[in-house]
Amino acid sequence: MKKILALALAVAMLLSCGAALAEEERMTDRFMPPHVNEGQYPVPGNKTISWWMEINKSAVAFISSYAENTAYQEIEKQTGINIEFIHPTVGMAKEQFNLLFMDTGSLPDIIMLSNDTWYEGGLNQMYEDGLIIDVAPYLEQYAPQYKSLVDGNRAASKKIYQGDNADRIYGFYRMDLGKAIPFNRCICRADWLEEFGMSVPTTIAEYEAYFDAVLANKPGVTPFYMSLSDSSQQVLLMGAFDMYCNWYQIDGQAHYYANEPAYKDYLALMNKWYEKGYMSKDLATLTSNEVYALFDGGQLACYTGNVDQAYDRLLSVEGVKQTPCPYMRKEADSKLHTDISNAPVSSGLAYVSVITTNCKDVEAAVQLLNYSYTWEGAVIAGVGVEGLTFEWKDGVPYYTDYVLNNPDGKTAGNIAYCDRIHLGSKMWWGDNLTGPYTGKAINRKLYSDDPNVDNAYVMPAINLSTEDTERRNEIMAEVGTYVAEMKFAFITGKESLDNFDKYVEKVNSLGLPEAIEITQRGLERYLAD
């Protein structure tokens, strides 16, 4: 953790000291990637690399391809490498990813996966199946910055080095070097809190008091909504019960929430809220847009969801005041240990670009991917193009009016995908080191700096063998279906919590203890290195 903190501090120091720092000054921390080597870029030869990646829905409102993204255009200019973008249909990336392998002779040069578990058996299996290459032999010469970051970050290297002897690297992962600002929070009607003379709720009891006030003063209004399928939302409540809504660990012991005694307590609270009318009887099937419409229309008092989207709507919805809230806890000073936003390497799973065995110019592909891990490339990816999206002031990148007051009606969310590289394989410090913050970032950051929140229980980015990965996936497919079914039954009262022990017996009979043992083996290997 000390190394990770040092890395984050190094990035912050570089931002505050200015773009004009000499190379030797930038190298004051050995975990920072070196300055671009003299002559490394642009790459000679006018090369073209094909790159398959998902395009975000926030981009397609203004552009049809990342070829129109100004940050990618600048990267093409600086690297001298042309990018031929191939985009699956929006919302169909995972499905169309699987279709790529029907004709391996037509594979693109690079594929970016939003998650390295998209392929059954993971990246190791993709390699064994002859679909992707091991890039490790190319890094020292063609990607020194990426290699420096991987080798200098213990959490990252333990995830990224794979293979029988942990000597292979299959892809270029997003490297999260600073604490991410949480996207999901409980969001309440701030104007109603003011009306009731209440402060922003922080504890379970304070939320219940707010819900009771809504029922008493706002006839027909539903107090609360939370998706029962979105783990990033459920963790906002489950953390109060010392659990994470997926795999987690406590003092080196692997856990999965579904058979934990504390899970019964969480379900009991949700059932209580359901029975008291805090949660509508028909909210289980609502889409995000339907939830937003209820909230904005004065029919919903609080929901769990994306803070950025809440802020964007606030700009266009008159008469509605809203506020993100701190993480829910049992007592005001309770410590929480399940904040994924504090995890150092995106849990080690997100946004990895792999080079296929069909690539005819591996060196160029490696050089292209490496650029976003250089100082210059990271600035372009994270902040955009100087003179368009930002200007340097005293060594700090400040957003321009193009971002803060876009003439074309682009929100900060649109700009993140049209003029920056918001998601992808890159060095990333988040939005929290850029000044001044956009209104959206300020809204997101409002309750981010909480000294009683950490990531002590978050499962590190462990590696499992191909066999273990396949077996765990097989088990968890059955477990996940049953747990989801019973979660809804317990919350709605269709199944009594008196039968929780029988439920646990069933979960265990489906193989969850074996899946925990598999995960424990991976965790122990991680901790032993």
Q: Residues 271-322: pLDDT tens digits?
A: 999 999 999 776 667 888 889 999 999 999 999 988 878 887 887 788 899 9
Letter for the amino acid at 513? P
Please report whether residue 385 resides in a domain: yes
Domain total for the chain? 3
Same domain, 191 and 336: yes
Same domain, 304 and 337: yes
Mean pLDDT within 326-347: 76
Mean pLDDT of all residues belonging to the chain: 85
Same domain, 36 and 23: yes
User: Which of residues 142 and 19 earns the better pLDDT score?
Assistant: 142
Q: What is the DSSP letter of 121?
A: T
Same domain, 167 and 188: no
Q: Inform me whether the pLDDT recorded for 10 exceeds 70.
A: no
**Residue that terminates a domain, selected from 292, 314, 342:** 342
**Residue that terminates a domain, selected from 342, 358, 384:** 342
Same domain, 118 and 170: yes
Same domain, 139 and 115: yes
CATH number of the domain residue 217 falls in: 3.40.190.10
> Which of these ranges, 158-167, 215-224, 229-238, has the smallest mean pLDDT?
229-238
State the residue range of the domain holding 227. 184-245+257-342
Q: Inform me whether the pLDDT recorded for 443 exceeds 70.
A: yes
Q: Inform me whether the pLDDT recorded for 379 exceeds 80.
A: yes
Question: CA torsion sign, 330 to 333 to 335 to 338?
Answer: positive
CA distance 369 to 158: 20
Same domain, 154 and 11: yes
Please report whether residue 207 resides in a domain: yes
0.85 exceeded by pTM: no
Q: Inform me whether the pLDDT recorded for 33 exceeds 60.
A: no
Please report whether residue 231 resides in a domain: yes
Please report whether residue 198 resides in a domain: yes
Same domain, 21 and 161: yes
Please report whether residue 213 resides in a domain: yes
Task: Report residue 369's pLDDT band, with 50, 70 and 90 as the boundaries.
Answer: very high
Q: Is residue 207 classed exposed, middle or buried when 0-12, 13-18 and 19+ CB atoms within 10 A define those classes?
A: buried
Three-state DSSP at 101 gives helix
Letter for the amino acid at 319? G
Same domain, 41 and 71: yes
Same domain, 24 and 158: yes
Q: Half-sphere exposure (CA, 13 Å, Cβ side) for 71?
A: 26
**Residue that terminates a domain, selected from 342, 374, 397:** 342
Mean pLDDT within 20-43: 49
Please report whether residue 33 resides in a domain: yes
Q: What is the DSSP letter of 341?
A: G
> Which of these ranges, 12-21, 165-174, 295-304, has the smallest mean pLDDT?
12-21
Task: Report residue 15's pLDDT band, with 50, 70 and 90 as the boundaries.
Answer: very low
pLDDT at 27: 26
pLDDT at 397: 83
Q: Inform me whether the pLDDT recorded for 433 exceeds 80.
A: no
Residue 58 CA, distance from chain mean position: 16
Q: Residues 239-253: pLDDT tens digits?
A: 999 998 889 999 999
Mean pLDDT within 188-204: 96
Please report whether residue 457 resides in a domain: no
Same domain, 425 and 471: no
CA distance 52 to 109: 8
Strands (E), 377-426: 390-393, 396-399
Q: Which tokens hold the place of 49?
A: 């690399």
Please report whether residue 203 resides in a domain: yes
User: Which of residues 132 and 429 earns the better pLDDT score?
Assistant: 132
Same domain, 496 and 485: yes
Three-state DSSP at 249 gives strand
